[in-house]
Structure 1
Amino acid sequence: MENSVIFNKILIAVDDSKFSYAAAEYGFGLARALSSEVALVHISAYPVTTSMTGDPILGDPGIIIPDMMDAQREAAKQLFQKLRSELAPDTPIREFILEGNIKEEVVNVAKEFKASLIVMGTHSRKGLDLFLSGSVAESVMRNANCPVLVVPHKE
């Protein structure tokens, strides 16, 4: 039987972790082997609160949420630049830098990009940590309209 599945558009979901880097390596390698179009997506969750407070007497307002979001956007741009230069220097890449619910936004970007495959890493959380934060990879797998390749990274 001939395989009719063609992964011509690969979405690689990244954050600034070693787990994500391993997934990006795998995703770019797969994209090269299949001559696929590639997009990177990074989603920053909205901060609930900030522990950085200013001192109004000294005129220091502290860090406010728009400043934090700008810093996260800039960090995502630097991450994309690093991934491009180290893993795919000659590959045209679409980029999505967003804020919101990570689990939902990865699925939304995959629909917008018309991805035929999502590649992502996993933090391999267990126990209470998994219960409290949930698994982003599991949620994406359950809700995506295309296959999801979860790349494990063992220490």
Structure 2
Amino acid sequence: MINLDNLKKILIAVEDSVYSDQAVNYGLSLARKLQAEVALVHVNEIPAATPYIADPMMNETSFIVPEMMNIQEDASNALFDRIKKQAGDEVIIYTYIRLGTPKTEILSTAEECNADLIILGTHGRTGFDHFISGSVAESVARRSKCPVLIIPNKD
């Protein structure tokens, strides 16, 4: 059983979606009630290498466009700004932008920031869609060292 008095830092995995908004709302509400700090993590998946006209004879390969990385970082910061405004001055918020696979980066960020609880939303996929895409929430819940609260999709 989790002791709510021990929840001092809540990690909320965010993205620009209604599922994430529901998790943020829940997480901020819980943080206010428990006077806990919040860490937000936004994971940008590594973009596929962008091909350009490369000369294999010159040992040239495709590359990741730095501009794409800057656009992703700007989007992450805009998302964080929106959430910070929503939280107001009541909640101390830390932000983390990660590049990689969401389940791996959420777990490593939780360890790095010493999270006592991870909150994330779920798309609620079932059947074939779930089989193909898997579930970040499920994977995080199975591998996390701290409790995980999954906020289901409420259409």
Is TM (by shorter chain) over 0.5? Answer: yes
- Residue 59 of structure 2: aligned partner: none
Does residue 37 of the first structure (1) align with residue 37 of the second (2)?
A: yes
Q: TM-score, normalised by structure 1?
A: 0.85
Q: Distance in 2 between matches of 1:136 and 1:2?
A: 22
- Residue 151 of structure 1: aligned partner: 151
- Residue 127 of structure 1: aligned partner: 127
Q: Distance in 2 between matches of 1:4 and 1:17?
A: 28
- Residue 77 of structure 1: aligned partner: 77
Q: Write the letter of the residue equivalent to 1:135.
A: S
Task: Describe the shift of the 1:99–1:2 C-alpha distance in structure 2 as closer, same or farther (beyond 3 A).
Answer: closer
Task: Describe the shift of the 1:2–1:29 C-alpha distance in structure 2 as closer, same or farther (beyond 3 A).
Answer: closer
Unaligned runs of 5+ in 1: 56-63
Q: Distance in 1 between matches of 2:25 and 2:2?
A: 28
Task: Describe the shift of the 1:154–1:6 C-alpha distance in structure 2 as closer, same or farther (beyond 3 A).
Answer: same
CA shift, 1:15, in A, is 0.5
| Deviations, residues 42-90 of structure 1 (Å, cap 9, x unaligned) | 001112256xx889xxxxxxxx53222211111010001001112x110
Q: Write the letter of the residue equivalent to 1:79.
A: L
Identical-pair percentage: 47
- Residue 118 of structure 2: aligned partner: 118
Unaligned runs of 5+ in 2: 54-63
Task: Describe the shift of the 1:69–1:3 C-alpha distance in structure 2 as closer, same or farther (beyond 3 A).
Answer: closer
| Deviations, residues 135-154 of structure 1 (Å, cap 9, x unaligned) | 00000001111000001121
Superposition CA RMSD, Å: 2.3
Task: Describe the shift of the 1:118–1:2 C-alpha distance in structure 2 as closer, same or farther (beyond 3 A).
Answer: closer
Q: Write the letter of the residue equivalent to 1:89.
A: G
Work out the number of aligned pairs and report it: 145
